[in-house]
Amino acid sequence: MGDEFPEAEVQGTDLSPIQPSSVPENVRFFIDDASEDDWAVPAAHFDYIHTRVLLGCFQDFREIIKKGFYYTKPGGYMESQEIMSTPYCDDGAMPSDWPFLEWTKFGDDAAMEAGRPMRIANKLKRWYIQAGFVDIQEKVFKLPMNPWPRDKHLKELGRMSEGNWHAGLGAFSMGHFSRVLNWSKDEIEVSA
């Protein structure tokens, strides 16, 4: 965003200080929690707010959208990109006992028990409407989990998605599986 819009001031937030150090001059990162009541900026401050893959992060993502509406300027935009936490198969090839399907069920159960639901992607449009946003667009895309598709574009998306899953599966599992399901680190690593 900083490169594409060099005249804009781009602010990024995260709970952890994991931001890259090499960023455009117009990009600043802040350690902050979007679930806090005060975003430390005045109302109607932002032209654009973007969230991505925050499923399971908040007790009620509707509150984040409401805050986004409050902090977005009239005529501004808020966008959320989420994935469905449960895998689906459009050709019937996914067996009901597939280990990853079982892993997602454990993760979803733990997230629900922790009060931080993961199944939010299919509810975003309704929540945006309820918050007061207008001209809402919802786009649903197929995201393969591996490079098996024959279609060249889907194959590349699947390759990137598989890399993300391999890199993050342990981290995605650790918090909920250890704190909520009381699994040991060894049990989590075997499962992931």
Assigned token pair, 105:
């069920």
List pLDDT tens digits, range 19-64: 888 999 999 999 999 999 889 899 999 999 999 999 989 999 999 9
Assigned token pair, 21:
């150090």
Q: What's the pTM?
A: 0.89
Let me know if residue 126 belongs to a domain.
no
**Which residue range is the domain that position 109 belongs to?**
89-116+144-192
Counting the structural domains of the chain, the total is: 1
Phi then psi for residue 157, to 5 deg, are -60, -40
Assigned token pair, 139:
């786009």
Let me know if residue 121 belongs to a domain.
no
| Whole-angstrom distance, CA of residue 152 vs CA of residue 170 | 29
Let me know if residue 50 belongs to a domain.
no
| Whole-angstrom distance, CA of residue 78 vs CA of residue 23 | 22
Assigned token pair, 56:
């399971």
Let me know if residue 184 belongs to a domain.
yes
Let me know if residue 149 belongs to a domain.
yes
